[in-house]
């Protein structure tokens, strides 16, 4: 933007700095003389040239919904000729927001306002709407195609109406049209060819939900982007613009539900005062196809209703929940339902009364069923009083209940059997409950992945889990197949992602953390999309379409998750982070209120070797996987090395596939992880000229922090494990910066998200 300041300076000196006349009076006198006129035009042209090369400063607020003018005039004119006007009846609030988005997007990208028309009258129209609302659209969509689109699918097709060429955006519902509009704008944002479109897209999963672990005081558990978006104190009267922009961002990637509050729930959200606040948010989100859900505390009938029990089979308890459901649906007719964390980490639940998870879930499901509501019942349960391996406990409790849950219950299962670790094998419940609706729970926020300072693109994690072979219905049946209901009798399908949105100006804290929100939505819509394709979309929409920027940064993103696994928990290590706040390395943690909250419980390091023995000779957690996977995991020579220490206690001197010993391989991974972050830094330095200075500098500083913390992880973990291996560091590993005692004595206070 400096060129704006240059222009008056040039004028001042060219005017001769005369004291007797105003600078601009002198300028006018000179311009009127022909010999100076060309000079004046040259100054204007030079200033415009400088201005055109200024990269605007950005704070990241717009996320991937940046509708900046397409710089390439040839491409811009090509798009402009294809979208000369819009035919889009606006009969509902959803149609109005869809048209507004289309109008805003096109005017920003093309540089002019595309006019609205009531019919297709010449070439170059966009015809958008529902199939049932417009005869012209209905004539262009077959009955079979309309049926296959379902409630939320859409098509984008280049065709003709009355002999006039147009682009058709059509769906069975207004929400489907909205999704189609966002997809079309994405094509323009990423500079795709739109001359012969034939796109058909429908979501693979019915519920695509964000879980917000937000508390009524606006603190966010495991959130690293400021305070909660929801200003409960000023609701319902004050509607922040961020609520609307949040809805736009979610609709653009097909997210159709949001759980507003923490799974460690506070009963206050079920009070009449707070339900009015929830209604205000529901009213904002509704036009964008987003339903609201609430996490509920199972003991609410006691805490709010004055009952002496929350036993799910008690008549008074059932009646209390029925009346509460009636109250909610009078305020919010499209309320989505309840999310429940019960009998886990101290939360109350049906087991407190000798009942099962199915008893508790079904009681709530029955009161929601008349309204079309659902219960999402979390399978994240474990009890330190049990002698069983914590990784086995969810399976042990839920597998016997298969087929006993109501049709409007989804059992929400984390992607792995422990707790959102940098890498876990998929949860064995995927494939174990064919007669129960299971939904995936991913963590978008980076609780165990460097939190708010590490660049870790989670697309590869999502892809790895969803494509994992389960053998649930024969060879080739993946976790995605189970989620989509292809390997059982599921009546509902769904997926949930634990959000990391907050009051930070860029929504997610780290600029690249936005990519994980975006990637979650894209994988929720299509579990078979690739992480690489999603990364490229996001980069082009969020930063730049220049290949010189996109290609190296895309490679950096794709490798970032493996880098963090290497410098944190390689070869199947897990749960060795700091106690409680989960920040930084702490494999030495052995004193905690629960043994399964310690690090030593999981890595089992001793003079013989390293790793948790889950083979038939150990906890036999491998038995929870289907054959032949269980046999593969059970054999240390066949087990994938990325899961080796998850399933086996391996001797320090055992030779691995590389020919190196376990100790040497462990050291190699830790050192390689640090080197990978250095390469990320080098890559980022090389592309700074292609993007705005503000975001470049922000990411640069965070990468510097990530590098220092990767070194910290490497040095602390290797020093600690060396006390058991009693072997020297290989020559490729640099000596640690500090002693083990130094790392063990580090203390951290007020870590975000704790």
* Interval 174-205: pLDDT, tens: 999 999 999 999 999 999 999 999 999 999 99
496 forms beta bridges with 209, 441
pLDDT at 383: 81
pLDDT bucket at 57, cuts 50 / 70 / 90: confident
Backbone angles phi, psi at 229, to 5 degrees: -65, -30
Q: Which residue has the tokens 């860029």?
A: 506
Check pLDDT > 70 for residue 680.
yes
Mean pLDDT of 399-423: 98
254: which DSSP letter?
A: T
- 632 among known catalytic residues: no
Q: At what angle do helices 547-568 and 459-466 cross, to 10 degrees?
A: 70
Domain at 207-542: CATH code: 3.20.20.80
CB < 8 Å & 24+ apart, contacts of 622-629: 622/647, 624/392, 624/395, 624/399, 624/428, 624/432, 625/425, 625/428, 625/431, 626/431, 626/432, 626/470, 626/471, 626/472, 627/471, 628/471, 629/469, 629/470, 629/471
The structure tokens listed for 22 are 């105003």
Catalytic residue among 447, 536, 613, 709: 447
pLDDT bucket at 9, cuts 50 / 70 / 90: very low
User: CA 2 → CA 7, 384, 660, distances in Å?
Assistant: 9, 62, 57
DSSP labels for 112-176?
Answer: SPPPEESS--SSSEEEEEETTT-HHHHHTS-HHHHHHHTTT-EEEEEEEETTEEEEEEEESSHHH
Using the Cα atoms of residue 269, residue 271, residue 273 and residue 275 in order, give the sign of their dihedral: positive
- 221 among known catalytic residues: no
Q: Which of 561, 599, 587 is nearest to 706 (CA)?
A: 561
Residue 103 near residue 86 (C-beta atoms within 8 A): yes
Mean pLDDT of 354-371: 98
Which contiguous run of DSSP H or E holds residue 125?
strand 125-130
Q: What is the rounded distance in angstroms from the CA atom of residue 134 to the CA atom of residue 172?
A: 11
Residue 109 near residue 79 (C-beta atoms within 8 A): yes
300 forms beta bridges with none
Q: Can you tell me whether residue 337 is helix, strand or coil?
A: strand
Residue 669 near residue 421 (C-beta atoms within 8 A): no
pLDDT bucket at 510, cuts 50 / 70 / 90: very high
The whole model's pTM is what?
0.93
Upstream peptide bond of 236 is cis (omega within 30 degrees of 0) = yes
Show me where the domains of the chain are located: 2-52, 73-201, 207-542, 566-612+649-744
- Give 683-721 pLDDT, tens digit per residue: 999 999 999 999 999 999 999 999 999 999 999 999 999
Mean per-residue pLDDT of the chain: 93
Radius of gyration of the chain, Cα coordinates, nearest whole angstrom: 29
pLDDT at 33: 53
pLDDT bucket at 567, cuts 50 / 70 / 90: very high
**Segments of 223-372 assigned E as strands:** 257-259, 291-295, 337-340
pLDDT bucket at 50, cuts 50 / 70 / 90: very low
- Count of all residues that appear for the chain in the document: 754
Check pLDDT > 70 for residue 101.
yes
Quickly name the fold that domain 566-612+649-744 has. Alpha-d-glucuronidase, C-terminal Domain (3.90.1330)
Cα 121–Cα 124–Cα 130 angle in degrees, nearest 5: 75
pLDDT at 232: 98
Q: Which of 351, 333, 353 is nearest to 342 (CA)?
A: 351
Neighbouring C-beta atoms of residue 440, cutoff 10 Å: 27
pLDDT at 54: 46
Catalytic residue among 419, 469, 532, 641: 419
- 447 among known catalytic residues: yes
- Give 153-176 pLDDT, tens digit per residue: 999 999 999 899 999 999 999 999
* Architecture of the domain spanning 73-201: 2-Layer Sandwich (3.30)
Q: Which of 147, 122, 117 is nearest to 132 (CA)?
A: 147
Q: Can you tell me whether residue 6 is helix, strand or coil?
A: helix
Q: Which of 130, 106, 103, 105 is nearest to 116 (CA)?
A: 103
- Give 525-547 pLDDT, tens digit per residue: 999 999 999 999 999 999 999 99
Residue 419 near residue 380 (C-beta atoms within 8 A): yes
Catalytic residue among 345, 352, 383, 596: 345
pLDDT bucket at 387, cuts 50 / 70 / 90: confident
Q: Which of 560, 553, 566 is nearest to 457 (CA)?
A: 560
Q: What is the rounded distance in angstroms from the CA atom of residue 166 to the CA atom of residue 83?
A: 8
pLDDT at 431: 95
Q: What is the rounded distance in angstroms from the CA atom of residue 113 to the CA atom of residue 126?
A: 13
Burial 637-662 (b: 16+ CB within 10 A, else e): eebebbbbbbbbbbbbebebeeeebb
CA 471 to the chain's CA centroid:
27
């Amino acid at each position: 933007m400096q060129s704006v300041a240059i222009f008056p300076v040039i004028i001042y000196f060219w005017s001769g700095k005369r004291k007797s006349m105003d600078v601009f009076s002198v300028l006018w006198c000179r311009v009127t003389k022909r010999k100076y006129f060309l000079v004046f035009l040259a100054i204007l042209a030079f200033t415009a040239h400088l201005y055109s090369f200024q990269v605007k400063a950005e704070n990241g607020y717009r996320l991937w919904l940046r509708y900046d003018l397409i710089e390439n005039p040839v491409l811009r004119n090509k798009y402009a000729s294809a979208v000369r006007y819009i035919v889009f009846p606006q009969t509902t609030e959803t149609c109005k927001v869809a048209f507004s988005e289309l109008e805003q997007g096109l005017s920003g990208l093309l540089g002019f306002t595309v006019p609205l028309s009531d019919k297709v009258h010449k070439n170059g129209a966009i015809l958008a709407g529902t199939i049932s609302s417009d005869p012209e659209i209905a004539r262009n969509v077959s009955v079979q195609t309309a049926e296959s689109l379902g409630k939320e699918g859409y098509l984008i097709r280049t065709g003709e109406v009355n002999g006039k060429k147009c682009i058709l955006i059509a769906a069975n519902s207004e929400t489907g049209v909205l999704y189609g509009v966002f997809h079309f704008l994405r094509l323009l944002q990423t500079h795709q060819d739109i001359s012969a479109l034939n796109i058909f897209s429908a979501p693979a999963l019915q519920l695509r939900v964000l879980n917000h672990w937000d508390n009524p005081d606006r603190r966010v558990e495991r959130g690293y982007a400021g305070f909660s978006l929801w200003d409960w104190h000023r609701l319902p009267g004050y509607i922040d613009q961020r609520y609307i922009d949040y809805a736009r961002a979610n609709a653009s990637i097909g997210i159709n539900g949001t759980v507003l509050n923490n799974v460690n729930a506070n009963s206050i959200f079920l009070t009449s005062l707070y339900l009015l606040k929830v209604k205000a948010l529901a009213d904002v989100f509704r036009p964008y196809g987003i339903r609201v859900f609430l996490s509920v505390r199972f003991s609410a009938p006691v805490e709010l209703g004055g009952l002496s029990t929350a036993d799910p089979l008690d008549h008074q308890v059932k009646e209390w929940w029925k009346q509460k459901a009636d109250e909610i649906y009078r305020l919010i007719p499209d309320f989505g339902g309840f999310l429940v964390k019960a009998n886990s980490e101290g939360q109350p639940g049906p087991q407190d009364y000798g009942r099962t998870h199915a008893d508790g879930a079904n009681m709530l499901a029955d009161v929601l069923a008349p309204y079309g509501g659902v219960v999402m019942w979390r399978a994240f349960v474990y009890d330190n009083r049990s002698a069983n391996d914590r990784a086995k406990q969810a399976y042990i409790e839920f597998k016997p209940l298969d087929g006993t849950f109501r049709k409007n219950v989804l059992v929400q299962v984390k992607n792995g059997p422990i707790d959102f670790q940098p890498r876990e094998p998929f949860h064995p419940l995927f494939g174990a409950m064919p007669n129960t609706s299971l939904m995936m729970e991913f963590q978008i926020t980076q609780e165990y992945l460097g939190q708010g300072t590490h660049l870790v693109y989670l697309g590869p994690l999502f892809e790895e889990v969803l494509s994992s072979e389960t053998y649930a219905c024969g060879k080739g049946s993946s976790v995605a197949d189970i989620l989509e209901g292809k390997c059982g009798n599921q009546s509902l399908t769904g997926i949930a992602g634990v959000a990391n949105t907050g009051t930070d100006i860029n929504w997610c804290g780290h600029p690249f953390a936005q990519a994980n929100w975006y990637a979650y939505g894209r994988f929720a819509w299509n579990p078979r999309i690739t992480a690489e394709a999603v990364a490229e979309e996001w980069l082009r929409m969020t930063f730049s379409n220049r290949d010189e920027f996109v290609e190296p940064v895309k490679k950096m993103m794709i490798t970032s998750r493996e880098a963090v696994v290497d410098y944190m928990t390689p070869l199947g290590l897990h749960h060795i982070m700091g106690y409680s706040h989960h920040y930084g390395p702490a494999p030495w943690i052995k004193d905690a209120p629960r043994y399964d909250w310690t690090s030593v419980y999981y890595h089992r390091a001793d003079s013989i070797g390293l790793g948790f023995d889950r083979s038939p000779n150990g906890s036999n957690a491998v038995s929870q996987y289907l054959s032949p996977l269980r046999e593969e995991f059970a054999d240390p020579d066949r087990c994938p090395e990325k899961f080796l220490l998850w399933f086996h206690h391996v001797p320090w001197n055992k030779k691995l596939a590389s020919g190196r010993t376990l100790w040497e391989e462990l050291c190699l991974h830790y050192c390689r992880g640090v080197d990978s972050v250095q390469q990320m830094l080098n890559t980022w330095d090389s592309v700074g000229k292609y993007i705005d200075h503000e975001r470049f500098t922000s990411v640069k500083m965070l990468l510097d922090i990530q590098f220092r913390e990767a070194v910290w992880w490497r040095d602390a973990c290797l020093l600690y494990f060396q006390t058991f291996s009693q072997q020297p560091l290989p020559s490729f590993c640099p000596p640690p910066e500090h002693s083990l005692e130094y790392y063990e004595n580090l203390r951290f206070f007020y870590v975000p998200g704790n």
